[in-house]
Amino acid sequence: MAYSRKVIEHYENPKNVGSMDKDDPDVGTGLVGAPECGDVMKLQLRINDDGLIEDARFKTFGCGSAIASSSLATEWVKGKTVDEALSIRNTEIVKELALPPVKIHCSVLAEDAIKAAIEDYRRKRARAKAGESGKAPDPVETSNSARGGE
Amino acid sequence: MTPETRTEAESAGPRARRRRIYMDNHATTPCDPRVVEAMLPFFTEKFGNAASRNHEFGWEAEEAVTDARARIAQAIHAADPREIVFTSGATESDNLALKGVAEMFREKGNHIITVPTEHKAVVDTARYLESRGFEVTWLSPGSDGLVDLDELRAAVTDRTILISVMFANNEIGVIQPIREIAEIAAEKGVLFHSDAAQAVGKVPVDVQEMGIHLLSFSAHKIYGPKGIGALYIRRRQPRVRVAIQMHGGGHERGNRSGTLAVPLIVGFAKAVDLAVDDLTNGEIDRIRAMRDRLLHGITSRLPECHVNGSLEHRLPNNLNISFAYVEGESLLMGINDIAVSSGSACTSASLEPSYVLKAMGVGDDLAHTSIRFGLGRFNTEEEVDYVIERVVQTVNRLRELSPLWEMVQEGIDLSKMDWTGD
Ligand SMILES: Cc1ncc(COP(=O)(O)O)c(C=O)c1O
Ligand code: FES
């Protein structure tokens, strides 16, 4: 398969690779996909009290298009508000990277990762609030969940 | 290469001649220049139809085909050149063997035994026969890719007409216990077909001594031209007959009609000669040494590499490794000056990982990370060293990028995770 220039650029020089402390209350972690499907994406967002995404980091197991999609996603969400980030659609990623139809699911994964990371952040916040008001944290917290990376 | 094209390539400058390494010799091989040379006269001067009985052009062509057929028969130790039927390649040979036997022996029985790790040319033909009322037993290969002989023996019934097991696998290079399978077939009075597209010229193939009744092979896997192959059909002990799949002018003793592709047949014979020479002139040892160098070069420098399939019962030119936590297509992209292939779903149109690895019980997670290296006559040790370097570098880089690698380093058990994929 021939790759677009932009996919190759992101693959060769991926932006914002790395990890943040997933226990940091300001960090939301999204872990989507599955090794059996050949694609797993981890996206982490540092979100400030104003709901602004200050920083983003990713790691991806997947094809070049999946790596490029997640690299692009980190670039796009940085500096955006949570609501703006949530409005990013995979179709925009497809367009920007000129992905062929068989690679659309790689972009879907990036959209899902953004949503999962924000969801995780919001859950953490809600729990922190609940904690402040005297309630115990959720007792059924699972340590290894891909859904929110809690 | 003609002088014209050479000038063109050179005038395009050094950029056009960027390094490219071909290490996908299970997919196909380049034509050996000696093969091309042997073929050339048969396109222009000696262009006759081998079936033209009444002029010199026809005689010339027929003579060339007779000679080629004899050499090819000899290469696989067939008793009689008439046992070689030319086809368009191993796919057609497999079709002719399976459908031809199934149809011919329908009265005797409707049961066929094969393995899910076969090439699609056998798998899909067997499935087609299933849809036409035949019963197919799919043996389960072990985790090393080998057929279980006891399972095979137990699968034979009095309705069984054919056992089809490939000589060597095109993905993992695993060589099946051909003699033992043939013995079981002979014991039970069942025909035995083997797809030897990957085996001829890599390991000795002797249809008589090994007890093979039908054997498929193909020129383009052994530095010959694409579009020509053969099916060996035994004529004595037992006499094997196949139902015609290609009707027409009655060529190939009625087994396969169609004007013979004389230049391709001449090239095929030359390729077979050279490939069989390779077995004894040190060439195969050179290839095996390069494969071992590649294996040790990679595995001594990278942890968590899993070799797929038996290393012991294996083609000398094959290596298939899963680089855990690095998806195959992304690895191919990183080493794009090297032609190899991957069992990852991301490289396939179906988005399903390798069915061969799946059938051996390799998990989908590892199948997605598998790479097949196929060494060949035109590879050099220096190329192997370059490939080792590039693979090690790229796998390390992609592991740094891999969330799975990171989790494993942190001691997380990936199998216990609650993944979102479906
Ligand atoms: C084991 C095996 N059988 C059959 C084939 C098909 O051969 P051909 O391309 O000559 O039809 C191949 C090659 O793709 C092969 O490796
Ligand atoms: S991750 Fe499999 S095609 Fe992109």
Domains of chain B as residue ranges with CATH: 3-30+282-412 (3.90.1150.10), 33-278 (3.40.640.10)
Compute the distance from residue B87 Cα to the ligand 1 centre, in Å.
12
**Closest by Cα among B162, B216, B151 to B189:** B162
Give yes or no for residue A63 CB within 6 A of ligand 2.
yes
- pLDDT confidence bin for B47, thresholds 50/70/90: very high
Residue B3 has pLDDT above 50, yes or no: no
Residue A144 has pLDDT above 50, yes or no: no
Task: Tell me phi and psi for residue B107, to 5 degrees.
Answer: -65, -40
Can you tell me whether residue B84 is helix, strand or coil? strand
- pLDDT confidence bin for B113, thresholds 50/70/90: very high
Query: Which ligand is the nearest neighbour of the Cα of B344?
Result: 2
| Cα–Cα distance for residue pair A67/A60, rounded to 1 Å | 6
Distance, C-alpha B250 to centroid of its chain: 29
pLDDT value for A139: 43
Structure letter (DSSP) for residue A81: B
Q: Is A95 exposed, middle or buried (0-12, 13-18, 19+ CB in 10 A)?
A: exposed
Tokens of B282: 């040190």
Structure letter (DSSP) for residue B220: G
- pLDDT confidence bin for A35, thresholds 50/70/90: very high
Tens of pLDDT, residues B216-254? 999 999 999 999 999 999 999 999 999 999 999 999 999
- E strands along B302-394, which residues? 305-307, 318-323, 338-339, 341-342, 370-374
Compute the distance from residue A117 Cα to the ligand 1 centre, in Å.
47
Residue B13 has pLDDT above 80, yes or no: no
- Catalytic residue ranges of A: 37, 106
Task: Tell me phi and psi for residue A61, to 5 degrees.
Answer: -105, 115
**Closest by Cα among B288, B287, B273, B183 to B222:** B273
pLDDT value for B16: 56
User: B-contacting residues of A 34-73, CB under 8 Å?
Assistant: 34-42, 59-64, 66-67
Q: Please, which residues have CB within 8 angstroms of residue A135's CB and are 6 or more apart in sequence? A: none
Length of chain A: 150
Residue B403 has its nearest CB partner, among A8, A42, A145, at A42
Tens of pLDDT, residues A112-141? 999 999 999 999 999 888 887 655 445 444
Alpha-helical runs (H) found in B206-301? 207-210, 262-278, 283-299
* Average pLDDT of the residues in A52-60: 98
Residue B119 has pLDDT above 80, yes or no: yes
The lowest-confidence range among A10-19, B94-103, B294-303, B349-358 is: B349-358
Mean pLDDT, chain B, as a whole number? 94
Residue B304 has pLDDT above 90, yes or no: yes
CB B252 within 8 Å of CB B68:
no
Contacts of B422 in chain A (CB under 8 A): 34, 37
- pLDDT confidence bin for B201, thresholds 50/70/90: very high
**Closest by Cα among B324, B307, B351, B294 to B409:** B324
Q: Are strands A53-61 and A39-47 parallel, antiparallel or unpaired?
A: antiparallel
Query: Which ligand is the nearest neighbour of the Cα of B120?
Result: 1
- Catalytic residue ranges of B: 346
| Cα–Cα distance for residue pair B327/A112, rounded to 1 Å | 20
Compute the distance from residue B250 Cα to the ligand 1 centre, in Å.
25
ipTM: 0.88
Contacts of A100 in chain B (CB under 8 A): none
Distance (Å) of CA B333 to CA A42, B28, B310, B336, B391 = 21, 20, 27, 5, 11
The residue nearest atom 16 of ligand 1, judged by CA position, is B170
Lining ligand 1 with CB less than 6 A are B 89-91, 119, 121, 166, 170, 195, 197-198, 218, 220, 229
pLDDT value for A134: 56
Write the single-letter amino acid at B411: G
CB pairs under 8 A between A and B: 107
B117 Cβ under 8 Å from any chain A Cβ:
no
Contacts of A119 in chain B (CB under 8 A): none
Distance (Å) of CA A22 to CA A44, A57, A122, B321, B402 = 8, 11, 13, 33, 16
Distance (Å) of CA A68 to CA A97, B54, B279 = 8, 66, 46
Is the model's pTM score more than 0.90? Answer: yes
| Chain A, nearest residue to B399 by Cα | A61
Give yes or no for residue B295 CB within 6 A of ligand 2.
no
Residue B384 has pLDDT above 50, yes or no: yes
Tokens of B31: 């034509």
CB A44 within 8 Å of CB A28:
yes
CA angle B385/B389/B391 to nearest 5° reads 115
Radius of gyration of chain A (CA): 16
| Cα–Cα distance for residue pair B199/B201, rounded to 1 Å | 6
Compute the distance from residue B34 Cα to the ligand 2 centre, in Å.
42
Task: Tell me phi and psi for residue B222, to 5 degrees.
Answer: -125, 40
pLDDT value for A145: 44
Contacts of A112 in chain B (CB under 8 A): 420
**Closest by Cα among B245, B211, B239, B213 to B87:** B245
pLDDT value for B421: 63
Distance, C-alpha B34 to centroid of its chain: 22
Query: Which ligand is the nearest neighbour of the Cα of B327?
Result: 2
> What percent of chain B is predicted at pLDDT more than 70?
95
**Closest by Cα among B300, B307, B334 to B321:** B307
| Chain B, nearest residue to A43 by Cα | B403
Tens of pLDDT, residues B266-295? 999 999 999 999 999 999 999 999 999 999
Residue for token pair 């050149």? B81
| Cα–Cα distance for residue pair B329/B306, rounded to 1 Å | 17
Task: Tell me phi and psi for residue B164, to 5 degrees.
Answer: -125, 110
Residue B74 has pLDDT above 50, yes or no: yes
Residue B422 has pLDDT above 70, yes or no: no
Tokens of B140: 């389960």
Residue for token pair 């949530």? A86
